[in-house]
């Protein structure tokens, strides 16, 4: 793997999706512990479902921004030599044209049946407890990795990091593990692109500050102009 990119909420901020750790410590008006844990779901499934239904519906009101588009351009040039690992549950990477996106925290556009264990592409609400298209049970939950649950596909991510030439972290505060540790697992050069220095900024060989819609296209131009397939 030549390049591994990790993205967080900051890359989608300029598309209009709020980040998790805004100044007031709330996420869309909620304490994350009241909507993003298995315990919260057990206590009040309707509240949690409504919260994610709103997040899912909000996806249709936002568009990918220049940072998502730049990463899709990089994939078009590098193919298998790029892996985008995202903590985001939105679908803005895919809508920008990226196809190799690894959602370690799950996806809003997926519903998981806790009865038959099948996952289904999902665009509508879940709060009204629709039946699972597979087994018919009314046991669909958001396919989101909540606090205390195990992120998806870490074996794939670990292998990619161990062999990468470059690891780039974009728009993440570095507050949540295991993603915050990726910089330590990466074999290659490390770069952070973030609005402000993240908690782990000093662990990176280089840290650049600014909005993702500016920093990411500039970095992609650098990669493609420096030994990339588009360089002459």
- Stretch binding ligand APR (CB under 6 A), from 5-13, 73-81, 130-138, 183-191: 5-13
User: Among 26, 30, 32, 45, which residue sits at the site for ligand APR (rule: CB under 6 A)?
Assistant: 32
Minimum gap (Å) between residue 197 Cβ and ligand APR: 8
x/- site string to ligand APR, residues 56 to 95, per CB under 6 A?
-------------------------------x--------
| From candidates 132, 194, 200, 223, binder to ligand APR by CB under 6 A | 194
Q: How far is CA 88 from CA 100, 102, 170, in A?
A: 14, 10, 11
Among positions 117-156, residues that touch ligand APR (CB under 6 A) are none
Q: Is 93 a catalytic residue?
A: no
Q: Pairing mode, if any, of strands 166-170 and 3-7? A: parallel
86 and 7 Cβ atoms separated by less than 8 Å: yes
Residue 88 annotated as part of some ligand binding site: yes
In angstroms, give the least distance from the CB of 76 to ligand APR: 22
d(CA 221, CA 36): 37
Catalytic residue among 93, 102, 105, 214: 105
Which one of residues 58, 62, 66, 176 is an interface residue with ligand APR (CB under 6 A)? 176
**Cβ of residue 232: shortest distance to ligand APR, in angstroms?**
31
Q: Which residue, 20 or 167, is less far from ligand APR as judged by CB?
A: 20
Q: What residues pair up with 82 in beta bridges, in sequence order? A: 3
The span from the CA of 53 to the CA of 187, in Å, is: 39
For ligand APR, the binding residue among 2, 4, 5, 14 (CB under 6 A) is 14
CB proximity list for 219: less than 8 A, separation 6 or greater: 70, 168, 191, 193, 208
To the question of whether residue 146 is assigned a binding role by annotation, the answer is no
Residue of 63, 196, 206, 222 that binds ligand APR (CB under 6 A): 196
Strands 189-194 and 206-209, by their bridges, are: parallel
List of residues contacting ligand APR (CB under 6 A):
8-10, 13-14, 19-21, 32, 87, 105, 171-173, 175-176, 194-196, 198, 211-212
Annotated catalytic residues are 105
Residue list, annotated binding site for NAD(+): 8-27, 87-90, 171-173, 212
């Amino acid at each position: 793997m030549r390049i591994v990119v990790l993205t967080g909420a900051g890359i989608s901020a300029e598309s209009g999706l709020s980040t998790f750790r805004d100044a007031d410590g709330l996420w869309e008006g909620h304490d994350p512990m009241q909507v993003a844990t298995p315990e919260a779901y057990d206590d009040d499934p309707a509240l949690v479902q409504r919260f994610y239904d709103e997040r899912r519906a909000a996806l249709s009101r936002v568009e990918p921004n220049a940072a998502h588009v730049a990463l899709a351009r990089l994939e078009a040039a590098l193919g298998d030599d790029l892996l985008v690992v995202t903590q985001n549950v939105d679908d803005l990477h895919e809508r920008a044209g990226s196809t190799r996106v690894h959602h370690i925290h799950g996806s809003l556009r997926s519903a998981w049946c806790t009865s038959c264990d099948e996952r289904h592409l999902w665009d509508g609400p879940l709060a009204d407890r629709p039946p699972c298209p597979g087994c018919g049970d009314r046991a669909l939950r958001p396919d989101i990795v909540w606090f205390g649950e195990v992120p998806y596909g870490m074996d794939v991510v670990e292998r990619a990091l161990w062999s990468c030439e470059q690891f780039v972290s974009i728009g993440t505060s570095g507050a949540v593990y295991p993603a915050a540790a990726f910089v330590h697992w990466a074999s290659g050069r490390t770069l952070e692109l973030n609005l402000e220095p993240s908690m782990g900024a000093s662990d990176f060989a280089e840290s650049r500050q600014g909005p993702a819609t500016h920093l990411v296209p500039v970095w992609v131009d650098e990669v493609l102009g420096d030994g990339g397939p588009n360089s002459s």
